[in-house]
Amino acid sequence: MNEAARTLPNFRSDNVAPISPEILQAIAEANRGPAASYGDDDCSKLLNRRFSTLFETEVTVFPVATGTAANALSLAACARPYGAIYCHEEAHIHTAEGGATEAFTGGAKLLTLPGRHFRIEPAILREALARTAWGVRNRSQPDAVSITQASEFGTIYSLADIAEISAIARDKNLSVHMDGARFANALARLGCSPADMTWRAGVDILSFGATKNGAMSSDAIVVFDQDLVEPLSYRLRRAGQTWSKMRYASAQLLAYVEDGLYLRLAAKANAVAAHLGAGLAALPDVRLDAPVEANLVFINLPALAITRLAASGLQFARRGQEVIRFVARFDSTEQEADEVIALVERAITTT
């Protein structure tokens, strides 16, 4: 990589972000002397109480190392090996987790559904369930619905849609899982409480993301349906997700939600993405591929312009022949967004 490329803004992913100073400080404070292992330390014991306050109901929290672990193990607690899980056709569990859900459930089938703006539509889910061959042994039997909030394309389910999807699922005795890798970004956008976006709307289990928004390899599973706790605890141990030095993960999660830090970090990323999206949409030959509702910006532009952008050294993710993705982080700035807009404009207008 040349010197110019190293100094350009990096909007490839929010996974490239550093650790937030507050969380780094929490790790340092947890690193003072010995502490009990496997979740018996003071930080880990505080997690359930702190998150129960945050979500306004009794929850059980399990720290995990990755969002993939959170998703796959959450769904393994909900679905039988011969079961089925409904998700959007662009859901991360289907497109980007290497079959982890199928592996950890022991074979449950992912049934994908289309949906505008990369969200499951209640009517489409209802229709799919109406076509289900219940009790037919040569067909996978539905056990769960998984929604991604915010979606893989940065779009957000309304509270009404979450509640309607959950009601449809509940009518068929299905569990509802939320992939919240960008949970804070969605929450910051909606301006509601964590309770309103989860259990009050019918969600049974949540993959609670922190790594993309300032943490260091620390996500969590938040369980609302307490019947799922015992089977999940055994699955976590079997999967190697019961941390021996759990205090470091727990300290991060506690710092993450302290005084609304997670929302401030997410709101910053969302604001930069909105600024970037508006600036790019104003350029000729640029079209937004999805509404900018969280911290992701997808644009459609000529393939030649994409080639020029890549040659400039700008970091972004390619999502098709003429579609690229930019992701704003909690430490991104509007000045960096303006630089990206200028680079895209130059790539389009260069003859």
Question: Which helix (H) or strand (E) element contains residue 238?
Answer: helix 229-238
Percentage of the chain beyond pLDDT 90 is: 93
Question: Same domain, yes or no, for 154 and 8?
Answer: no
> In the prediction, which pLDDT does 217 show?
85
Question: Same domain, yes or no, for 238 and 284?
Answer: no
Question: Same domain, yes or no, for 212 and 328?
Answer: no
In degrees, rounded to 5, the angle at the alpha carbon of residue 180 between the alpha carbons of residues 118 and 43 is 175
Last residue of a domain, one of 245, 261, 277: 261
Question: Same domain, yes or no, for 107 and 232?
Answer: yes
Last residue of a domain, one of 217, 243, 261: 261
Question: Same domain, yes or no, for 133 and 213?
Answer: yes
Question: Same domain, yes or no, for 122 and 146?
Answer: yes
CATH number, domain of 101, equals: 3.40.640.10
Question: Same domain, yes or no, for 180 and 309?
Answer: no
Q: Stretch 212-229: mean pLDDT, rounded?
A: 96
The two tokens of residue 169 are 């699922």
Angle between the N-to-C axes of helices 183-190 and 261-281, in degrees from 0 to 180, rounded to the nearest 10: 80
Encoded amino acid at 344, one letter: V
In the chain, how many domains are there? Answer: 2
Q: Stretch 289-299: mean pLDDT, rounded?
A: 96
Predicted confidence (pLDDT) at residue 1 exceeds the cutoff of 70: no
Question: Same domain, yes or no, for 268 and 197?
Answer: no
Q: Stretch 15-40: mean pLDDT, rounded?
A: 95
CATH number, domain of 311, equals: 3.90.1150.10
> In the prediction, which pLDDT does 6 show?
55
Segment among 68-72, 157-161, 215-219 with least mean pLDDT: 215-219
> What is the arrangement of strands in the sheet containing 205-208, beginning at the earlier edge strand?
60-64, 219-223, 205-208, 175-180, 141-148, 83-88, 109-113
Last residue of a domain, one of 261, 288, 308: 261
According to DSSP, residue 96 is labeled S
Range of the domain at 101: 21-261
Task: Please write the tens of the pLDDT for every residue from 166-209.
Answer: 999 999 999 999 999 999 999 999 999 999 999 999 999 999 99
Question: Same domain, yes or no, for 253 and 122?
Answer: yes
Predicted confidence (pLDDT) at residue 5 exceeds the cutoff of 70: no
Q: Stretch 241-264: mean pLDDT, rounded?
A: 96
pTM of this prediction?
A: 0.95
Q: What is the chain's mean pLDDT, rounded?
A: 95
Question: Same domain, yes or no, for 225 and 137?
Answer: yes
Question: Same domain, yes or no, for 174 and 292?
Answer: no
> In the prediction, which pLDDT does 2 show?
46
Question: Same domain, yes or no, for 85 and 222?
Answer: yes
For residue 312, count CB atoms less than 10 angstroms from its CB and return exposed for 0-12, middle for 13-18, buried for 19 or more: middle
